Amino acid sequence: MTRGGAAARAVWGGGVLIVASRLPVPRKVALALGLRHLAQAAVTLRRPDGVVARWGWTADVAHSLSMLGLAAVSRRWRAAALANAAVAAAWACVARTTRERR
């Protein structure tokens, strides 16, 4: 992932932390997700050629798949899980695409 992509991820993670109590998911879940984005962005910015920068997109793919699984089994969380799956898939695409361009 490029530095620009990592900076965008940091902004996203910070935004998730700011609005965590207003999201349609448990606050602790939103906080954990926001912190994961911030950590991934920080590590990528620190070592843009490191393993997290090269393979961090796999965490987004795993997250997206887990949200699809949640959507399949939980009517209550379906809408939030599908939205989250789409966002995670988008992050995976951005990270993977920018990695291939380097």
* Per-residue model confidence as pLDDT tens digits over 8-44: 999 999 999 999 999 989 999 999 999 999 999 999 9
Domain count of the chain?
1
Query: Is the pLDDT score of 92 beyond 80?
Result: yes
Domain containing residue 47: 3-101
Long-range contact list for 19-27, CB < 8 A, 24+ apart? Answer: 23/80, 24/79, 24/80, 25/77, 25/80, 25/84
Over 70: is that where the pLDDT of 62 sits?
Answer: yes
Which pTM value belongs to this model? Answer: 0.88
